[in-house]
Structure 1
């Protein structure tokens, strides 16, 4: 075997010597290594300097040998017409590539056509992925992206929104796989607007969903002859409570959501999952579909359905309590407007007097009043506005 051509870990080598247990291999760069016989593969009995620049082989010539095993010499002679050190090495290169052949000990297995096609398809896909990855990396380096990069951008978005822990492209460009780092990158690429709020998605809070709704038919008492007032912030358009005065009786009106959301219904389960409205500086994520607001919010229509609680307040306790489904006519006013007419409006003045008496009664019985600071946070025209919430008689 001395001076034979062998392959060791993909490199051509010459057997330069041999002792009892090992063979000395010499490589093209002059380096040597002593290895066991099982660690190298015999290629040709006569060594010559070989290279990987091989003529194109017609693999189809071996179609009749699919799923069979042949020797290296047999395949070399079929493909290259002769068995030389160079042609044998070219066969070895083809086998090591693994597309058409693979080693079965000292023989070579010829893959069937469908196996070759499957391997080639996988390689093509990997090559395309590598190409698109490189394209995306170049684009990100220039702070841009295009349609070809969308799959990678979506992977980054998932990390930014805490919906995935890893994006291949982030690792490839040396950016941390954290929501904060991914978010900053997307801002830089202008995939996210500067005003985009990622926190609802990061915490798994879904966007509003429209669900078909209708109000159940229930018998209602007509209270439209009363002046009903819904007092709220000036920018509010979904009042859910109001009050009116009927002689000595006070009515508290609540938006009648229960006539739409039946226990155990799809809407009920939807609301249970969300628990409450989430008021953010830039948006409101609603506990119930916004279509319900149009049906239930007080004062949006000429008349509003309500669940009304009527009682007489003596200053100490409530008497003559009744709870009814009702139809009411609501006037929506802001806290500021209510303060302006608090003394001149008979209904508001009466409520203020009763509230003052009831507050005195509660104080005499050891109630505690906590006046904690409150702020209004608004996001307007790209700017964050934070202001103290004014204290006024109508708010109390």
Structure 2
């Protein structure tokens, strides 16, 4: 007990304390006036006392650095350090000496054995502490700038941390935590816009959804020579949207057969080839308003695209369509074709000319049959969203007859390929869709939206089954092998069968279906969210926008309104008595790009 006399200064949990009452359990007096009983082993003696007022243990003037130099290389007691540094050993100097030991810059050890740290180590530690202090000050200055909605050029490295969260490539950001912001993409995006580090045009959604960048980095060789049917005598028309860079289908008519020529991608990308594996990894071409990220390298498209050279290699589907729209016969052959490229607008001027007049006749019959068998014909206005030189362009997609002709020709090819594969016993990726539970009637826009809500998801299967959406008993997609991987797989199967070589079995086919399923959701969501993002940027660029909205759904207090000029849906309060299909004049009152929301009011 004599080691801790009454009123001695002791160390307890890093703080000074005074012995109020010695004993087996020592009663301590703490700086805040509270008392506490502790075991002797819980405290260390700093000075025998009297400790006096613990709140007045002010650090006296002294020379701790000088004491360190004298004691360098030696071990001393705390009392020795206090005497050397302050010229006396009092409770105040003992506490000051201990604080120097606890600080760890000049001394280390215990009250009984204090070691002076060598000068070189002290200098290095002092430099380290200075750098840490400067970094802390810089961090505090950064936080202050960000809170004010500003940033400096030197902040780029720190802001990259927030940028990674905004892009979805990182889940955590200490800087966001220090700003009391959620470590999530939307708050990070909002901050980067507020400080001006990102501009509103910055589209983070493909990155968040792990969409592929650029084009596949694989080598490309021209397709090898093989036996092909010469169909160059037919007028073959590749009809696409303006600016299309990957024409993969063209249509012809020979007086009896509708011919649909498809880019022969499988000739360049056979199963398990480097090009095939790269395409499988991507799943499909990603179409963004700011640019296209192709499934196949641009060099491959240059070789395969129909109409990009004087003659093009194709896999041609001959389909004989009866007057009632049924398929009477199907043939599939590798071919050579000469293709003329047209836009839909240009094709409208040739509808009464051959071959479009005859193609229109047979595809109209095919369409009538599909509708009679329950095909879902949903008419909701669409717009094309493109970014050119930093400006967003929204263009309504005209309801061209030529677009309908091409669509029906592609659907007929899908049915023909499904029938051919089924008859020949080829393992194939069939597209199926169960019928809607209800089928709303009416051609008005609200009925079209109600019909769309009733549609159930399409599924890929290894056996043919009814596809309610297109109104066909068996259907597959084969018309875009440069843009959709499973179309490429279908072509690989057809080419192998036609060449008399082994095709993929069901198990290998399903492996490829699973690989595509794993990535397609992210690709389609990237396209959908990117289109929405750029529509909001367009609204922001317009300033105060006003336009028409059509009520497509009503509720108790709010309703869903469709804006045809933007192909955009919004939910907002409706005037009393508003009915379905009412036309309202809307005014844009704000845009929240990080939240992908636009606000409107009814005029």
1:321–1:21 CA distance, 2 compared to 1 (3 A): closer
Alignment counterpart, residue 167 of structure 1, candidates 169, 173, 187: 173
What's the offset of the Cα at 1:185? 0.9
Matched, 1:43 2:46: yes
1:241–1:112 CA distance, 2 compared to 1 (3 A): farther
Q: Which stretch of the first structure deviates more once superposed, 10-19 or 114-123? A: 114-123
SS in structure 2 at match of 1:148:
helix
Spell out the pairing of 1:131-170 with structure 2 (5 A cutoff): 131-170=137-176
Q: Name the CA distance, whole Å, in 1 between partners of 2:291 and 2:332.
A: 37
Q: Name the CA distance, whole Å, in 1 between partners of 2:187 and 2:367.
A: 53
What's the offset of the Cα at 1:43? 1.8
Paired residues of 1:335 and 1:395 also in contact (CA < 8 A)? no
Alignment counterpart, residue 338 of structure 1, candidates 335, 344, 347: 347
What's the offset of the Cα at 1:50? 4.2
Paired residues of 1:210 and 1:291 also in contact (CA < 8 A)? no
What's the offset of the Cα at 1:62? 4.5
Q: Name the CA distance, whole Å, in 2 between partners of 1:257 and 1:202.
A: 30
What's the offset of the Cα at 1:219? 2.1
Alignment counterpart, residue 275 of structure 1, candidates 272, 275, 283: 283
- Give the structure 1 partner of residue 201 of structure 2: 195
SS in structure 2 at match of 1:57:
helix
- Give the structure 1 partner of residue 35 of structure 2: 33
Cα-to-partner distance string for 1:167-225 (whole Å, 9 max, x where unaligned): 11112122222221111111112222212222211112122234232223222545444
Gaps of 5+ in 1: none
Matched, 1:395 2:399: no
What's the offset of the Cα at 1:306? 2.4
Spell out the pairing of 1:29-108 with structure 2 (5 A cutoff): 31=33, 33-36=35-38, 37-47=40-50, 50-52=57-59, 54-58=62-66, 59-65=68-74, 70-76=76-82, 80=85, 84-85=89-90, 86-103=92-109, 106-108=112-114
- Give the structure 2 partner of residue 321 of structure 1: 331
1:281–1:176 CA distance, 2 compared to 1 (3 A): same
Q: TM-score, normalised by structure 1?
A: 0.81
- Give the structure 2 partner of residue 184 of structure 1: 190
1:76–1:334 CA distance, 2 compared to 1 (3 A): same
Paired residues of 2:162 and 2:188 also in contact (CA < 8 A)? yes
Q: How many residues align?
A: 386
Cα-to-partner distance string for 1:120-160 (whole Å, 9 max, x where unaligned): 67645643442232121122123222233223211211222
Paired residues of 2:262 and 2:316 also in contact (CA < 8 A)? yes
Alignment counterpart, residue 204 of structure 1, candidates 182, 186, 210: 210
1:320–1:138 CA distance, 2 compared to 1 (3 A): closer
Q: TM-score, normalised by structure 2?
A: 0.56
SS in structure 1 at match of 2:270:
coil
Paired residues of 1:302 and 1:329 also in contact (CA < 8 A)? yes
Matched, 1:5 2:22: no
Q: Name the CA distance, whole Å, in 2 between partners of 1:126 and 1:261.
A: 57
- Give the structure 2 partner of residue 257 of structure 1: 265
Cα-to-partner distance string for 1:328-381 (whole Å, 9 max, x where unaligned): 3221112222122111x2211222233344456x469x5333221241241456
SS in structure 2 at match of 1:193:
coil
- CA RMSD, aligned part only? 3.5
Q: Higher Cα Rg: structure 1 or 2?
A: 1
Paired residues of 1:218 and 1:325 also in contact (CA < 8 A)? no
SS in structure 2 at match of 1:41:
strand
- Give the structure 2 partner of residue 22 of structure 1: 26
Cα-to-partner distance string for 1:292-311 (whole Å, 9 max, x where unaligned): 33332222333333222345
What's the offset of the Cα at 1:108? 4.0
1:70–1:254 CA distance, 2 compared to 1 (3 A): farther
Q: Name the CA distance, whole Å, in 1 between partners of 2:179 and 2:361.
A: 69
SS in structure 2 at match of 1:354:
helix
Gaps of 5+ in 2: 406-603
Q: Name the CA distance, whole Å, in 1 between partners of 2:271 and 2:116.
A: 68
Paired residues of 1:156 and 1:167 also in contact (CA < 8 A)? yes
SS in structure 1 at match of 2:65:
coil
